[in-house]
Amino acid sequence: VLEELCRELMYRLGVKPYYLHHGDLARGMAHRRTTIAEGQALVSALRQRLSGICNPTYVIDLPEGGGKVPLASCAIEGRDGEAWRIRGQDGMVRAYREVVG
C-alpha cells in the first residue's frame, strides 16, 4: 500500500513523498506504532522497489525540541586500512577501496 501511495503521489499528482514519519509517542497509540527496526526494514524494501525520487526520508521527531532526524540505516560498517566495509541493498557487506588523486 505504501509503495502504491508513493508512486501515485509522484507520478499521478506530481508530489514527491518527502517524509515518512516514525510514529510519535502519543498516549494510547502504542498499538499503532512500529519499532524503528521495522520502519527501517520498510524503507529498505521501498528503496529496492521504487525509483529514488519516489522514496521518502524516514524521520523521527525527537521529543523536547530535538527536531526531525533521519533514521536511515547507515550502510558503512567500518573500515579496514584503506578499504571501507559497506553494506549493499542486498544485505551483503563489500569492500570499497577509496582511491583519490
Provide the pLDDT for residue 7: 93
Give the per-residue pLDDT at 101: 65
Same domain, 30 and 48: yes
Structural domain that includes position 84: 74-101
User: Which residue spans within the chain are E strands per DSSP?
Assistant: 19-21, 57-62, 67-70, 76-80, 83-87, 93-97
* 8 plus 37 within the same structural domain: yes
Whole-model pTM over 0.75: no
- Looking at the structure of the chain, the number of domains it has is 2
Predicted confidence pLDDT, tens digits, the chain (101 residues): 999 999 999 999 999 999 999 988 788 888 888 888 899 899 999 999 998 899 999 999 887 788 888 887 777 888 988 888 988 877 888 988 877 76
In this prediction, residue 54 carries a pLDDT of 93
Are both 43 and 83 inside the same structural domain?
no
Q: Is 16 in the same domain as 49?
A: yes
Q: Which residue has the cell 586500512?
A: 81
Do 13 and 62 have their domain in common?
Answer: yes
